[in-house]
Amino acid sequence: MSTNLYEAHNLVQRYNGREALNVPHLAIGQGETVFLTGPNGCGKSTLLRLLAFLERPAGGVLRYAGAAEGRKEATLLLQDPYLLHMSVFDNVVLGLKLRNQKAGLRQVFESCMRAAGFDDPWNFPERGPRELSGGERQRVALASRLALRPRVLLLDEPTANVDAASARALAQAVKNCKIEGITVVCATHDPALLRAVDAHEIRLGTAWDMDSPD
């Protein structure tokens, strides 16, 4: 049994007094690949933000057993990721530049673009975000996350708005993460992605009933 990287008990998040998430118990092992499934509004994106330590929970306990602060080790890729108005190359290596890394940026660019499913990384470095398809943008954003060598990769419906070829490339990227030992937590209800990757599925509860009284 692997060591748990995350453990949560009675984890609750509320917005404006409304419960957005309620997870009695959750355990995610180091290096594990996990799919978060469940209907719209059941709290998948909310849980990902909590796992990224971008928000504090309203109640309960969330423990992270990484060596350092979880926020620095986990990176969240949003459903419609935002690329900066700079070249693809600069988008991918920006995080490393901010960490003052100057050497080896070309190798990082090439390997991370390949890991994100680009067979021809050097066709892309000078392009801007507007010269990419939705699927290519999603994969460049993934490459920029991989460049940071995260311990945990949090993906929010990565294949929701992409073409079939990009969806297959993203499935392959998730599989590669497992081989690399990166813990992946991926919200999705894409049947093709669920079929393509051998992963533990965590199904969140039913959607919050918008009309029910508090």
Considering the complex, what minimum distance in angstroms separates the CB of residue 204 from ligand ADP?
A: 7
The interface partner of residue 212, options being ligand ADP, Mg ion, none and the CB cut-off 5 to 8 Å by kind, is: none
Considering the complex, what minimum distance in angstroms separates the CB of residue 48 from ligand ADP?
A: 8
CB 5 within 8 Å of CB 65: yes
- The residues binding Mg ion (CB under 5 A) are 44-45
Which of 112/204 has CB closer to Mg ion?
204
The interface partner of residue 40, options being ligand ADP, Mg ion, none and the CB cut-off 5 to 8 Å by kind, is: ligand ADP
Considering the complex, what minimum distance in angstroms separates the CB of residue 74 from ligand ADP?
A: 17
Which of 12/94 has CB closer to ligand ADP?
12
CA dist., res. 105 & res. 97, Å (int) = 9
Considering the complex, what minimum distance in angstroms separates the CB of residue 17 from ligand ADP?
A: 10
Tokens of 66: 């990484």
Considering the complex, what minimum distance in angstroms separates the CB of residue 45 from ligand ADP?
A: 3
CA dist., res. 151 & res. 180, Å (int) = 10
Site for ligand ADP in 2-61 (CB under 6 A): 15-16, 20, 40-46
Which of 37/111 has CB closer to Mg ion?
37
Q: Is 193 in the site for ligand ADP (CB under 6 A)?
A: no
Residue ranges in contact with ligand ADP by CB under 6 A: 15-16, 20, 40-46, 208
